[in-house]
Amino acid sequence: MTTNNNNQYEVNSPKTVAFIVLLGAFGAAILLEAPVLVGAIVTQLGFSEAQAGYVMSADLGGMGLGSLLALWWVGRINWRKVARVAMIAVAIGNLITILVDSFELLLLLRLVTGTFAGTCMVICIVTIHLMKDPDRGFGLLIMGNLLYQTIAIVLLSRILPVLGLGFAYGTIALAMLIFTFFVHYLPEYGKHKINKTENTPIEYRRLFWAMLGLISMLSYYIGVTGVWAYIERLGDGAGLSSGMIGNALAASSVLGLLGAGLATILTAKYGRLLPVLTGHLLTIVGISILTTSFTYSTYIIAACIFNFAWNFVLPYMLACIASVDTTGRLVASTNGFVGIGLALGPAMVASVYSPDNIDLAMWLCCGFVGLSLVLILRLSLSRSVSA
């Protein structure tokens, strides 16, 4: 079909790739800016650290919900129309956020806004799936996220104390409104082709191992997002200035970029067991350092190890799940599991957080990362698990 060929051509054009990278960065902006946003919510809105964590969980939970809702609309509704509605909704939600100071109302507002932000992220992911080289597309998306994170943390840590929290939300809103003029760079639909394997039941053993992989992804994200949402508060509690914290987190984002790049270079040349084991253990090391009486130098080291490990191990975890997924449906559902982890991580830390007892929260995060390793270890032993 001519339209399908045109659709395929569009997703591989440099303009579409660039637009997807930008949309992906601003769609995930709340997650990427979480450390400085949590601090600003506490200092500027007068919320407690626990309340700030719940606000962040509402946003991230909404992103997960948006991913799950996509299972219904992806094959039914024009993607450009969905993208335009989602972008406008995110813009409106962020603009209203600037005017809200009620904790309960803010929770509801951020949940709804996060749902539409998650929809934007789904559009990025399903568009990349249509590309001739989706591996390259995902690599560019991750690198775009990390570059955005690096720049945003450096700038916002200095700007928010002066211009206020509304600057962060207003910037996202402005970007989304601008993006509505470029939705024609997106495909209107996906490939309407049913694979022969779609009607083939997944073997129960494969399903079992794949589900363990998905739960491992959930557990890992509970651990790392619990730390990421409060890593700024940890630095503040240690007496570090906002500028010092911003520099440390920006440096960690650069290391995250290197981690993702290294995973792209190594792929599965040396198998998946060593990278999965290394990534999980380094994550635990990074978190463990934050439980000690750290200095500015050790704070930077911990943040860098943590972010490097997170972005290094993630591609391998996805590959482990894909190795036992014969239909592609389970891999597609990873966004929902990640979204749940994004919501539960900050909420878990918020439920036990206190300035005098932050170590308990960090060790809980280590426990979830360790559980993730145990669950995915079998999948990482081989490229295809059949038993």
What is the per-residue pLDDT across 295-352, written as a single tens digit (0 to 9) for each? 899 999 999 999 999 988 887 887 787 677 554 456 556 777 887 887 788 888 888 8
Over residues 173-202, the pLDDT tens digits come to 999 999 999 999 998 876 544 344 444 454
Q: What pLDDT score does 193 carry?
A: 40
Residue type, 268: A
User: Residues of 342-354 as b/e, b for ≥16 C-beta within 10 angstroms?
Assistant: bbbbbbbbbeebe
> What CATH number corresponds to the domain at position 209?
1.20.1250.20
Mean pLDDT of the chain: 84
Number of domains comprising the chain: 2
Q: How far apart are CA 160 and CA 279, in angstroms?
A: 33
Do 204 and 168 lie in one domain? The reply is no
Which letter does DSSP use for residue 202 in this model?
P
Distances (CA, A) of 278 to 127, 190, 226, 310: 31, 36, 20, 11
User: Among the three residues 191, 218, 236, which one is the final residue of a domain in this structure?
Assistant: 191
Tokens of 6: 């045109």
pTM for the full model? 0.73
Do 134 and 226 lie in one domain? The reply is no
Q: What pLDDT score does 385 carry?
A: 47
Over residues 297-313, the pLDDT tens digits come to 999 999 999 999 998 88
Do 233 and 258 lie in one domain? The reply is yes
Return the HEC string of 268-293: CCCCCHHHHHHHHHHHHHHHHHCCCC
Q: What is the mean pLDDT of residues 69-96?
A: 90
Question: Which carries the bigger pLDDT value, residue 375 or residue 267?
Answer: 375
Query: Could you give phi then psi for residue 48, rounded to 5 degrees?
Result: -75, 165
Domain coverage including residue 365: 199-387
Q: What pLDDT score does 20 carry?
A: 93
Token look-up 């982890």 returns 341
Question: Which carries the bigger pLDDT value, residue 321 or residue 47?
Answer: 47
User: Among the three residues 191, 221, 239, which one is the final residue of a domain in this structure?
Assistant: 191
Do 62 and 154 lie in one domain? The reply is yes
Do 116 and 75 lie in one domain? The reply is yes
Tokens of 20: 């997807």
Do 321 and 249 lie in one domain? The reply is yes
Question: Which carries the bigger pLDDT value, residue 346 or residue 383?
Answer: 346
Do 133 and 56 lie in one domain? The reply is yes
Token look-up 């040349």 returns 269
Lowest mean pLDDT among 227-241, 320-334, 349-363: 320-334
Do 187 and 203 lie in one domain? The reply is no
**Cα distance from N-terminal residue to C-terminal residue, the chain:** 41
Tokens of 232: 């700024």
Do 214 and 125 lie in one domain? The reply is no
Q: What pLDDT score does 197 carry?
A: 46
Do 7 and 142 lie in one domain? The reply is yes
Tokens of 36: 């400085």
**What confidence category does residue 159 fall into, taking pLDDT thresholds of 50, 70 and 90?**
very high
Do 233 and 117 lie in one domain? The reply is no
User: Among the three residues 162, 191, 220, which one is the final residue of a domain in this structure?
Assistant: 191
Do 149 and 122 lie in one domain? The reply is yes
